[in-house]
Amino acid sequence: MDWVIEARSLTKTYVMGEIEVQALRDVSFDVTRGEVVAIMGPSGSGKSTMMNTLGCLDRPTSGEYILDGESVAQMNDDQLASVRNRKIGFVFQSFNLLSRLTALGNVELPLRYAGLTQGRRERAQKALEAVGLADRMTHRPYELSGGQQQRVAVARALVNNPAIIMADEPTGNLDSKVGKEIMNLLLSLNKELGTTLVIVTHDQKIAEQAQRIIRLKDGELDVIEKGNGGSA
Amino acid sequence: MSFTQAIIEALESLNGNKMRSGLTVLGIVIGVAAVIAMLAVGNGAQASITGSISSIGTNLLFVFSGSPNQEGPPGSGGRSGNNERPLTLGDANALLDQFAAPSVEMVAPAIQGNGLLNFSSEKTNTSISGVTPEYYQVRNLELAEGEFINQEHILGRMSVTVLGPETAIALFGHADGVVGETIRIEGQPFRIIGVLVARGGGAFGSEDNAAYIPFTTAQARLIKRGSRDQVDVIFVQATTAEAVPSAVEEVSSIIRQRHRTPVGLDDFTVFTQQDFLSIFSQITGVLTIFLGGIAGISLLVGGIGIMNIMLVSVTERTKEIGLRKALGARKRDILLQFLTESSLLSLIGGIIGIIFGWVIARIVEQVATATGNNFIPIVGWDAVLLSTGFSAAIGLFFGIYPASRAANLEPVEALRYE
């Protein structure tokens, strides 16, 4: 199989004062390329920690994590930054766009940190066209609706052609109709581009659109269910 | 990220908070402007003083009575004040010995005091010098009209006077056409025989504000001294500027011999124009450093202002920093971003400050000119480079702490920040 995520015995321990909190305990699973996976669990289940670890924002205390063929568990901060830049696109619940920049400027940001000096504008334009915002490129975030802002965020996530898109409650700040649109956008991009999609959510309806649902409970892997999404 | 990119982004960010950026820049502007203006005033003072000393003539020596290194009150220690002999006309004449003092060109003894001058109801207080005809050449004077004191005036102890232009203006309202008028000095009538050309403020009070009378007249009627032939100062002109050091030696040994003082215990002092120059440049140098130092403190305060604002900005933009890190920004990208912002703030402040400081210097010049002082503050390239470099360094230095705080934020923590 072509694994894009290989997680082996991931464990994350936080030390808060004198108490050790085990946010993740010995979690192992794989994700194949092009798959849509949902990570679910009640609050405190280690969902966010899982998301941070898979997104290379944080290192596991122990365990092995191979992302698109690169072992990232032991990398230093700058190496992680580079992996995030090349292999991961983030979509956050609260959009996280920079208000000073236009839609185009926001989408260009990952390209800037990739060290690209030429062709940035064109690639950012293409990404915005792909999410259906060809006519909103020079708008600033406050001139856009919530759904449009999230579309900009999706364009920003895919502009670097990442191996996976990590979506953290992507519809959490949107009403159900717009939320559905964003989900459809993410799923259609997954189909067209073959980008692996990992969605962290507590919304059963969203999760069911994935091919597999990974359920966490008390930091441990509870169960992996099959969702209603098409086969990988 | 390229450097120009970083600058563009920093400008965007600073532009996004105009009020705050402006106030931060203002701190640096005031600091740099103060440094520039203060150094300009200091340099101007130095130039003005050294210039006026130079105008005295480069081959001039001054001989005063009194030891150059008097320690303690007279009578204390091994040397008694009573043993100190005043300078006399005899001393002055002895300096003219061609063989003992080949480096001496001309000698002009003088006695000096202050007195009240009046012409009808106009009064002015001024310095009065009893001088010989040689004084004119030794001191490099120039007449606007009339003549200087000559030998005839000396021999006849005549009541004639040559006025500085300021003194003439104080009495008559103008400096021309006053030759032939009679004024009173300390109540005694004196006829004006000449008026000098204005020379500007001098190092020892203005030479323009003075009255010169024949030496013998002063001695007999106006300035009483202990003995009849006592003089206050002997001006000596060396043959050339290069001959000044040997002239000092010759003058010293002649007077030492006449006063019978052991070497090292002189009861007189020989000053050269170089001595005055170095003393005054020392004084104005200290003054310049002092002024610059005070101004530098305000620049430092401006720098702390930058640090303060950058810290606020880092805290405020924690989430932005987290996002940038999530998108692939490395530590040095974030560091560069914030350092660029703080350096730009101080650089902009520095540039505006230089312009501002220059304007202040010009205003000081205008005020000085308006009040009749010939004083030009000098904005030197050294001051400009110094304060530009200093303000950029301040931006970097005070930017490092906030920037490294931003760069070391954990992406997870930063993203969670509200």
User: Domain for residue B272, yes or no?
Assistant: no
Mean of pLDDT over chain A: 91
Q: Is residue B239 located within the same domain as residue B384?
A: no
- pLDDT, position A232: 45
Structural domain ending residue among the three candidates B234, B266, B298: B266
User: Domain for residue B175, yes or no?
Assistant: yes
What ipTM did this prediction achieve? 0.94
Residues of chain B with pLDDT > 70, as a percent, come to: 92
Model confidence band, residue A28 (pLDDT cutoffs 50, 70, 90): very high
Q: Is residue B102 located within the same domain as residue B44?
A: no
Residue where the block lists tokens 């898979």? A54
CB contact under 8 A, B323 and A96: yes
User: Domain for residue B273, yes or no?
Assistant: no
Range of the domain at B86: 67-266
Question: A81 contacts in B (CB within 8 Å)?
Answer: 325, 328-331
- pLDDT, position B383: 82
Average pLDDT over residues B393-400: 88
User: Domain for residue B180, yes or no?
Assistant: yes
Please tell me the distance from the alpha carbon of residue A135 to that of residue A73, in angstroms, as a whole number. Answer: 41
- pLDDT, position A60: 93
Hey, what are A155's tokens? 């364009």
Question: A121 contacts in B (CB within 8 Å)?
Answer: none
Q: Is residue B39 located within the same domain as residue B106?
A: no
Q: Is residue B36 located within the same domain as residue B73?
A: no
Average pLDDT over residues B93-100: 85
- pLDDT, position B99: 83
Average pLDDT over residues B43-51: 81
Chain A nearest-CA distance from B339, in A, is 17
Hey, what are B36's tokens? 């520039």
Residue of A nearest to B329 (CA): A113
Could you tell me the domains of chain A? 33-59+80-226 (3.40.50.300)
CB contact under 8 A, A77 and B330: yes
CB contact under 8 A, B327 and A52: no
Instruction: Say if residue B249's pLDDT is above 80.
Output: yes
Instruction: Say if residue B74's pLDDT is above 80.
Output: no
φ and ψ at residue B157, rounded to 5 degrees: 45, 50
Q: Is B221 exposed, middle or buried (0-12, 13-18, 19+ CB in 10 A)?
A: middle
Question: B409 contacts in A (CB within 8 Å)?
Answer: none
Tens digit of each residue's pLDDT (9 = 90 or more) over A191-230 = 999 999 999 998 898 999 999 999 999 999 988 988 887 6
Instruction: Say if residue B73's pLDDT is above 50.
Output: no
Tens digit of each residue's pLDDT (9 = 90 or more) over B197-248 = 887 655 455 678 889 999 988 888 887 777 778 888 899 988 887 888 888 8
Q: Is residue B262 located within the same domain as residue B282?
A: no
User: Domain for residue B117, yes or no?
Assistant: yes
Please tell me the distance from the alpha carbon of residue B78 to that of residue B86, in angstroms, as a whole number. Answer: 19
CB contact under 8 A, A81 and B13: no
Average pLDDT over residues B45-61: 76
CB contact under 8 A, A90 and B327: yes
Instruction: Say if residue A105's pLDDT is above 70.
Output: yes
Chain A nearest-CA distance from B1, in A, is 6
Hey, what are B265's tokens? 């215990």
Helix axis angle for B18-54 and B3-15, nearest 10°, is 110
Q: Residues A183, A189, A190, A195: what is their CA dihedral angle, to the nearest 10 degrees? A: -130
Nearest CB to A81; choose among B13, B329, B415: B329
The top-scoring range by mean pLDDT among B78-92, B157-171, B292-306, B376-390 is: B157-171
Q: Is residue B103 located within the same domain as residue B227?
A: yes
- pLDDT, position B89: 85
Question: Following DSSP, what letter does each residue of A106-151 receive, concatenated?
Answer: HHHHHHHHTT--SSHHHHHHHHHHHTT-GGGTT--GGGS-HHHHHH
Q: Is residue B255 located within the same domain as residue B323?
A: no
Q: Is residue B347 located within the same domain as residue B257?
A: no
- pLDDT, position A102: 92
Q: Is residue B227 located within the same domain as residue B299?
A: no
Tens digit of each residue's pLDDT (9 = 90 or more) over B128-184 = 999 999 888 888 888 888 999 999 999 999 999 999 988 888 898 888 888 888 999
User: Domain for residue B59, yes or no?
Assistant: no
Based on the structure, what is the number of domains in chain B? 2
Chain B nearest-CA distance from A191, in A, is 23
Give whole-number Cα distances, A153 to A35, A63, A98, B165, B371, in Å.
21, 31, 10, 82, 68
Q: Is residue B245 located within the same domain as residue B355?
A: no
Please tell me the distance from the alpha carbon of residue B315 to that of residue B24, in angstroms, as a whole number. Answer: 17
Tens digit of each residue's pLDDT (9 = 90 or more) over B108-133 = 999 988 889 988 888 888 989 999 99
User: Domain for residue B60, yes or no?
Assistant: no
Which residues of A make CB contacts under 8 Å with B? 52, 55, 57-58, 77-78, 81-82, 84-86, 90, 92, 96, 98, 100-101, 109-110, 112-115, 117, 156, 160
CB contact under 8 A, A115 and B1: yes
Please count the other Cβ atoms lying within 10 Å of the Cβ belonging to residue B263: 8
Mean of pLDDT over chain B: 84
User: Domain for residue B58, yes or no?
Assistant: no
Instruction: Say if residue A63's pLDDT is above 50.
Output: yes
Structural domain ending residue among the three candidates B207, B242, B266: B266
Structural domain ending residue among the three candidates B266, B300, B325: B266
Exposure string (b/e) for A194-222, b if CB count within 10 Å is 16 or more?
ebbbbbbbebeebbebbbbbbbbeebebe
Exposure string (b/e) for A2-15, b if CB count within 10 Å is 16 or more?
eebbbbbebbbeee
Q: Is residue B100 located within the same domain as residue B186?
A: yes
Nearest CB to B326; choose among A78, A90, A112: A90
Q: Is residue B220 located within the same domain as residue B302?
A: no
Model confidence band, residue B76 (pLDDT cutoffs 50, 70, 90): very low
